[in-house]
Structure 1
Amino acid sequence: MAESLTKAIHHFIEDRYQTKREALDKDHEKERSQATTAQDIESVEAKFAKKREKLLFEHDVSNWLDNASKLASKISMATHIAKFTHSSSKGSSFLAEVFDSDPRYLDTNSISEPAIDIAVSDAKAAYVGSFMRLEDQQGISLYEYFKNEDYSSLTAFTTNQPQLESWITGLSEALKDTQPSSHTFGKQVYFPVNDGFYHLLIPLYSSSISQGIYDEIQYCRFSKGMKEVRGAKKIHLWHESYLVSYPNIAMTSIGGSNAQNVSKLNSGRRGINYLFSTRPPEWQSQLKAPLTSDNIFTHPELRYATRFAIKRLVSFLIQVNQQERESNLAIRNKIKRLVDEVIDEVFAKVSQWQQLPLGWSDEANELPAAQCRWLDPNNSKRDQHDDQWLQDIAKAFGGWLVDNVNHFAKDELSLGLVESNQWQEAFKQALREIS
């Protein structure tokens, strides 16, 4: 509805006038308070009376539109902004409205209604971009009216046809770039097409995509609806809506302290532009139940998980043995800490098998009953009250760790029953604490 847009234009110009008038009045009061003589006061009053007259003249709707139409060539309504490549680039920005798209890729055409950004080559013309984005009651912008060659919203401000045409011609400059160009600070890619021929491509950053991603992530993080869903999830309640989140988000800040120099939308985002993770997927081995094992301590995955902790224990024992140092409290405590590290690695690996589906150990024909009880703890077929399984597993651990130490130590040292019994008790105590 052109009438509502006409009102929006009038209010926009009036608001700008009032804002500048208030600033002028503050300056007037400041200078008047500093005047010390009648002559100074008279000079201040004359000065600001002239400024008010000039301000009022400039914000007469007809005069204001005259000036705005002259500055419109300094802005570009665009989806792809050159200054995202370099903030000092003076290359052309680009308005991509209809172009081919591949559904396998996220591009500007993936967005049903991409936001139109504003590139500004002269800061004095920045307000013209806001003017072109004024909307009527149905949310249709002045930019869209111009794109559809509908200029009816401006006809109420003049009866002078040549003046109306000058407004249309001038403001239309914001929708096109009559002399598209690249710039030294732009990027260029030579793309071969035939033998000896190539296209010179100039990649431009899509501010429309960046705005779409920004709006989506901000909604998922801060909207009332998403907060309600997260609140329900936190207290384990059902909610009719999905919880949407975007993990591993990176963020770039474009434009530094002068984000508006890059574009209008970039300024609204405070320079924030989100990036999705494009790392390749990480390989995760599928956890398999140890059905064919006859001793969980000799299982390849557990040996692999504990190898470094055992080697640290062996290294310290060899060092003590070579120095022929007598056992003291410090040495014993050190050995205990190293054995505890091995136990922790064992428990960490075993906890993965304990998460397997209930009853998986029923098919483990070779695995000792005590180890089945340990690895499949919620299986009702296993005796939950018999503590003998603790002793059996601890004994298996003690013997296994001594064998591993002797294996890695080779001929440097040889451990036996004393160490096996000590480590057996340490393991049994740890097992009781977590069972």
Structure 2
Amino acid sequence: MALVAVLQISFNTDSYMTDENATEDCPSFRSAIDAFLLDRLRTKLDKLAPEDPKRTELIADHQRDTWLESAARRVKQIQAVTHSLKPMHPEARGTNIYVTPSSLPALNDLGSHALGSQFAVDVVGNAAALDVYKLLKLQIRGRSLLEALRANDTDALQALDDEPAKAKSLRDALVSLTDERDAGAISHVRAKQLYWLVGEDAADDAQYHLLAPLYATSLAQALYEDVQDVRFGEQNKLARQARRDGLPFDGVYREYRDLAVQKLGGTKPQNISQLNSERGGNSYLLSSLPPPVWQSQRHYLPVNARSIFERAFGARPLVRTVLRELESVLLGSRPKNMHTRDRVGELVNELVDELVAYAGELLQHPAGWTRDEAFEDLAEEEQLWLDPLRAELPEEGEFAGRWLSLDWPAHVGERFGKWLNARLRDKLPEVGYFESREWRRILLDDEGSWMQHLRAVRERLDSRCAITS
């Protein structure tokens, strides 16, 4: 019914005819633009009832001439960048920069200059105008429409309009995407700033330059794509499997250890930038720690134990220290107010962080270590938690299914609450159900470190299952 309703409207189908000279192997920019607009139109029409009067307006707005003129006006609301300000602070207003990496000085250190000609362009500004950039990202024969317009490519110009003067006007407006929007460099009170001594007298204010660091968004995107390939790419998957099986592999196995994830933009990553939105707000941070000079030999494996909370976890030095501090706060004379509750919450979160660290240490053991008879008494939910890579083994499909169901973390949370109550009860006999429930709530908090750790493992296992299927 929706299709019939569309055809009954006066629809200028000529605007959506593919270029007669185009072929599937070598399409033109005009045909690519037409296909882009038609796809956007269909998506919007599918959301409307057949009799909705807005359909006529949408069809008119998506005629090529009309839409491109609108894009030429709206492009001023966004800017193409390689170095952006908003990741420094979401409310910062100031200068963003677009600079081709190949034009930067070559250094021995890793930086944006290392990207060369292969780099991702980011876009900042009004998220409602990002469709203009999606148009300019259209590629024909490995070249984007934006690149072609910047080079005054004939095919790209003709795709905008048959009239040369009109095509040039649209071209000039669209390529302004890479121009600076501000008259000169502008910083902001919420931007990060750094006074850098360029002279020798640190007491002389005139011998400082004020630096305003920007976020190298194109470099961050390149790192993100490389890490994703290492974690989920087919080549590295085969190398990882060969390594586990002890088989030779004709290739290179890559691994990034001790990664951290920085979230930018909260629930609205598109407010930071286009690439940040495509990454779901995630940016990887590499470990900057120096090489370790010692290796801990104490992994506190739960040998012949029903739970790690029986001996292994409580034997960790940091756990003992935090428990003593927690007892001190709860037994102290300080008033039972918000500050006391916050301090208790901080200490319990330290215990949760230690749980994450403990689980990370046990990941150093070969996948499937819980199948050893020394751990046959270990509770199933703790086997699922502490030996998650066992789910990647080909013969462990049932184990993987139980892991991915994620109904077991609640049982671990209950064990954690009861364990903490038991450790405190010698000096605080009044702790009971309500305290245990609070400890469990802190552990299972969606924004807490333990649940973030489980989500990271879930993402890895989901990818593994998708590749296997």
TM class by shorter-chain length?
0.5 to 0.7
Aligned residue number for residue 37 of structure 1: none
In the alignment, structure 1 residue 231 sits paired with structure 2 residue 234:
no
Aligned residue number for residue 107 of structure 1: 111
For 1:335-350, what aligned pairs fall within 5 Å after superposition? none
Q: Cα deviation per residue 1:197-241 (whole Å; 9 max; x = unaligned)? A: 443321101111111111111111111111111111111110101
In the alignment, structure 1 residue 139 sits paired with structure 2 residue 139:
no
Question: Which of 17, 33, 39 is 1:9 aligned to?
Answer: 33
Distance in 2 (alpha carbons) for counterparts of 1:217 and 1:141 = 25
Displacement of 1:147 in angstroms is 2.9
Task: Give the structure with the higher percent helix.
Answer: 1
Segments of 5+ residues of structure 1 without an aligned counterpart are 29-44, 286-307, 309-435
Displacement of 1:62 in angstroms is 0.6
For 1:85-100, what aligned pairs fall within 5 Å after superposition? 85-97=88-100, 98-100=103-105
Displacement of 1:74 in angstroms is 1.3
Displacement of 1:60 in angstroms is 0.5
Assess if the C-alpha contact under 8 Å between 2:85 and 2:215 holds in 1: yes
Displacement of 1:140 in angstroms is 0.9
Find the residue that maps to 1:166 and give its secondary structure. Answer: helix
Assess if the C-alpha contact under 8 Å between 2:29 and 2:159 holds in 1: no
For 1:51-130, what aligned pairs fall within 5 Å after superposition? 51-97=54-100, 98-103=103-108, 105-130=109-134
Aligned length: 263
Displacement of 1:151 in angstroms is 5.4
For 1:196-345, what aligned pairs fall within 5 Å after superposition? 196-284=206-294
Displacement of 1:284 in angstroms is 4.2
Displacement of 1:268 in angstroms is 1.1
Displacement of 1:178 in angstroms is 4.3
Find the residue that maps to 1:168 and give its secondary structure. Answer: helix
Q: So what's the TM-score if we normalise by structure 1?
A: 0.57
Displacement of 1:92 in angstroms is 2.4
Displacement of 1:109 in angstroms is 1.0
Displacement of 1:251 in angstroms is 1.0
Aligned residue number for residue 163 of structure 2: 160
Distance in 2 (alpha carbons) for counterparts of 1:157 and 1:214 = 34
Q: Cα deviation per residue 1:261-288 (whole Å; 9 max; x = unaligned)? A: 1111111111111111111233249xxx
Distance in 1 (alpha carbons) for counterparts of 2:138 and 2:292 = 48
1:182–1:151 Cα change, 3 Å: farther
Q: Cα deviation per residue 1:128-182 (whole Å; 9 max; x = unaligned)? A: 111111110x221112113323353131442334422321121022011142432
Assess if the C-alpha contact under 8 Å between 1:114 and 1:208 holds in 2: no
Distance in 1 (alpha carbons) for counterparts of 2:72 and 2:82 = 21
1:93–1:114 Cα change, 3 Å: farther
Assess if the C-alpha contact under 8 Å between 2:83 and 2:218 holds in 1: yes
Distance in 2 (alpha carbons) for counterparts of 1:6 and 1:183 = 41
Give the percent of matched residue pairs that are identical in Structure 1 and Structure 2: 30
Displacement of 1:5 in angstroms is 2.5
Distance in 2 (alpha carbons) for counterparts of 1:4 and 1:198 = 53
Assess if the C-alpha contact under 8 Å between 2:78 and 2:125 holds in 1: yes
Task: Give 2:231's aligned amino acid.
Answer: R
Displacement of 1:191 in angstroms is 2.5
1:273–1:114 Cα change, 3 Å: farther
Task: Give 2:98's aligned amino acid.
Answer: L
Question: Which of 149, 152, 166 is 1:149 aligned to?
Answer: 152
Q: So what's the TM-score if we normalise by structure 2?
A: 0.53
In the alignment, structure 1 residue 193 sits paired with structure 2 residue 198:
yes
